[in-house]
Structure 1
Amino acid sequence: MKKRLFSLASLLLIGHLASAQKVEFEEYDLDNGLHVILHQDNTAPVVTTSVMYHVGAKDEDPNRTGFAHFFEHLLFEGTENIGRGEFMKIIPANGGKFNANTTDDRTYYYEVFPSNKVELGLWLESERLMHPVINQIGVDTQNEVVKEEKRMRVDNQPYGRFLEQVKVNLFKTHPYRWTTIGKMEHLDAATLEEFQAFNKKYYVPNNAVLVVAGDIDKPKVKKMIQDYFGPIPRGADIVRNFPKEAPITKEIDAKAYDPNIQLPAIIQAYRTPSYKEKDSYILDMITTYLSGGKSSKLYKKLVDEKKMALQVGTFSMSQEDYSACIVYGIPLGDTKLSDLTKEIDEEIVKLQTHLISERDHQKLLNQFENQFVNSNSSIEGIANSLATYYMLYDDVNLINNEINIYRSITREDIKAVAKKYLNPNQRLLLEYLPESQKQ
């Protein structure tokens, strides 16, 4: 009897989660082109204010890489009304937290405050947009900050440069061919006028979306938004016309060397479609099927059973224009890189020639449903999703129905997409080696 009651309770909980996942929102535009999205949830006295700018590493000059990530730091320096260094003091002093991040496609800033500080959050973001102070002191200061970050995350990190090597080999014409953090010599060579021009071009209201989510009074917040953001002038329209990549029709063989490693790695990278296409969702499922956890196909086979790999994994590098499906392995003992490649290829061929089991298919659906629910389980997560779906997917309502795309994916879809994209003649095969092996 207890077991039956527990099962019923579980079903009720699942039903509650499914219904709670519906996110109500309102969106509109200011006269200057700023898109605004409001989400009201009065269950807890917190509010997230965030701004996402449609500017990332792909918008940079090839000789001035790293600008977008640099601005993620630089725009915390101060404004005409916020003293240098005060930005990051004001927020915690008022019970809030903040962060920012940059990708190849966009830059995102956000604050989480007690709901009675919503006006403060709006003022701070309007100041960042309207009155930033971009001077040589700030540039020099943040240059050192970014260099230290690069040393920690890339230069001195084992396997820290493998993504750089994947990108430069996988993309030949599109600006995805360089990394988000860029080259330090490009930042060193840039003039103050170049930084100011970059800000003027991309950090404008018509290239941004403002999200306010949480315990808000909508009429009051709308007035605050108009008061703080309405007077900001519209920027010039941004035209993007990036070069297209030619299809890969022959395996690209490459080698790269890392002074921070002792064990080599083999990396397979396949260029795949934008994350807005259904095939990209299917590839997400494929990478999870291959290496999502210790019960996944590659991990179980190569790490647990055959003990050929110290580590093996796959992931999707999902982006706005193109994505990449990346498979990697670090050999164990005397295992050759070519042997790892052969074993990995065998699993991919199975995907291309056989349907995965119904049990594995259901497991994947469960994993993605859980992931979808968790991504929107907090006000902070909802704000991020609303901004992302508007800015990069052109469909804010994906926050409610993106899970239906995953639910629609069949076993036949997985087989067909694996066969379409994951072939040796369509990939980069990169040997990532210790520098001691360099001749």
Structure 2
Amino acid sequence: MSDQTLNLEFIEYDLPNGLHCILYQDNTKPNVCVMPAYQVGAKDEIKGQKGIAHLFEHMMFQGSENVSKTGHFDSVMKAGGTCNAFTGFDSTVYFDLLPSNNLELALWLESDRMNSLNITQTNLDNQISVVLEEKKQVIDNVPYGTMTENYLKHIFRGSQYEIPVIGLEEDIKSFSVKEALNFHDNYYSPENCVLMISGDINIEKTKDLILKYFGDIRKKNLINREKNIISELESDEELTVPDNVQLPVVSICFQIPGEESEEDFDLEYFTEIIANRESSRLHRKYVYEKNIFKSVHAEKIALKDAGILILFAMLNPGTDIKLAADILNEEIRLFYDNDINDREFERIKNQLEFRNVTKNLKMNNISI
């Protein structure tokens, strides 16, 4: 769904130090979302520092020059808001969602940790332990938890997308204060940040506040990115991963074009029509009618330079793995051969557009 259909009017401009600002005014509710997105992620990590981008997301909540160790969380929560962050391959995004009369508070908090961060050995050691525990809980000790790690390793071999965002345990354990400080100096600067503010704001007053808190932060010009070389797969690969699970999963993974490609809608449409609805082909035929699959799911992960599309099928007891793989390949072939009709296409298209509209009505999603 286009911005025009939603009647979203964005104001975009740059500060002299390179900070790119995007403002969206919506005064229907007394809330505001402040979202600085730094153009740094796992793909910017060098050898020996795999996981530092995600670790640094944690470090950004450990205090800065004028904010105590828990001060960011405490200040936002005391104001009646919430804050969080997430790290991807291409960017690291922070957000503060709070009542609009606390906009200035959020801008002060974000500018303070952009300009100066309190990185000590104690804080670093603490967050290394937190991240290692997180890795155990969400990947290492979770059924099917290493699947994405294996996809990346084979689909993006030799590229900056090869290692998962959470990183490598041996690298995480060895991060030093000096490396953390260098990472902040290199990437956490105004020219490498997009500041998005949406909600109950006055545009001119918001511009004045942004200039007040971010205008004096100096531009660093320290970024030297390696080119992310994505090699096309030369042949199909088959991988068997032992895991302590009750039901086996068969999955097929493809390398796809990056985000905002011309094929983006077609791929989204594919995931919906083949697997992601109860009325989808795989659900209807093989979960409900033939009882071959316990569940099915398709996922499209679009990154800046490339992406992956994954088709999962969890098998019912007794289902032959080769049969399951043949079924998935056959349904892909039928889709590729244009085995679709106009009614089916329009139904999915309308549902996707409706989902995008309802998602974008949330302030933090508008900012994203």
TM class by smaller structure: over 0.9
Of 295, 300, 308, 2:279 maps to 295
Deviation at 1:208, TM superposition (A): 0.4
- Give the direction of change, closer, same or farther, for the CA distance of 1:245–1:115 in structure 2 (3 Å limit): closer
**Per-residue displacement from partner, 1:24-70 (whole Å, max 9, x unpaired)?**
11111011100011111111111111100011111112321111111
1:274 equivalent among 244, 252, 258? 258
Match of 2:97 in 1: 112
Runs of 4+ with >6 A deviation: 17-20
1:174 pairs with one of 159, 181, 188: 159
Q: CA deviation at 1:172?
A: 1.2
CA shift at 1:338, angstroms? 0.7
Q: Indicate the residue corresponding to 1:410 in structure 2.
A: none
Aligned to 2:86, which of 66, 77, 101?
A: 101
| Partner in structure 2 of residue 361 of structure 1 | 345
Contact kept in structure 1, 2:65 and 2:113, CA below 8 Å: no
d(CA) in 1 for partners of 2:265 and 2:47?
A: 30
Distance, in Å, in 2 between the alignment partners of 1:309 and 1:58 is: 35
**Aligned amino acid, residue 221 of structure 1:** T
Aligned equivalent of 1:242, options 220, 227, 233: 227
* Residue 375 in structure 1 maps to residue 356 in structure 2: no
TM-score of the superposed pair, with normalisation by structure 1 = 0.81
The answer for the alignment partner of 2:270 in structure 1 is 286
Please tell me whether residue 209 in structure 1 is matched to residue 199 in structure 2: no
- Deviation per CA, 1:182-218: give whole Å up to 9, x if none: 1222111122111111111111111101111111122
The question of 1:352 aligning with 2:336 is answered yes
Cα distance in 2 for residues equivalent to 1:171 and 1:19: 36
Checking the alignment, whether the CA contact within 8 Å between 1:285 and 1:364 is kept in structure 2 is yes
**Which of 195, 200, 203 is 1:218 aligned to?**
203
Distance 2:200 2:40 in 1: 29
Please provide the CA RMSD for this pair. Answer: 1.6
Residue of structure 2 in register with 1:329 after alignment? 313
Whether the 8 Å CA contact 2:41–2:88 is kept in 1: the answer is: yes
CA contact (8 A) 1:55 1:105 kept: yes
Amino-acid identity (%): 34
**Alpha-carbon distance change, 19 to 105 in structure 1, aligned in 2, over 3 angstroms:** closer
Preserved CA contact (<8 Å) 2:228 2:305: no
AA aligned opposite 2:144: Y
Cα contact 1:126–1:229 (8 A) shared by 2: yes
Structure 2: how far apart are the matches of 1:18 and 1:87? 33
What is the alpha-carbon distance in structure 1 between the residues aligned to residue 219 and residue 167 of structure 2?
29
Is 2:84–2:95's contact at 8 Å kept on the other side of the alignment? yes
Q: Does 1:83 align with 2:68?
A: yes
Q: CA deviation at 1:79?
A: 0.5
Structure 1 residue ranges without an equivalent (≥5): 1-16, 385-439
Give the corresponding residue for 1:228. Answer: 213
> Secondary structure at 1:186's aligned position in 2?
helix
Confirm whether residue 36 of structure 1 aligns to residue 21 of structure 2: yes
1:55 corresponds to which of 40, 53, 65: 40
What residue is the counterpart of 2:131 in the other structure? 146
Partner SS for 1:175: coil
Match of 1:341 among 325, 330, 350: 325
Q: Which residue of 1 aligns with 2:12?
A: 27
Q: Distance in 2 between matches of 1:161 and 1:38?
A: 39
- The 3-state SS of whatever aligns with 2:76 is helix
Partner of 1:194: 179
CA distance in 1, matches of 2:155, 2:201: 46
Question: Which 5+ residue runs of structure 2 have no aligned equivalent?
Answer: none
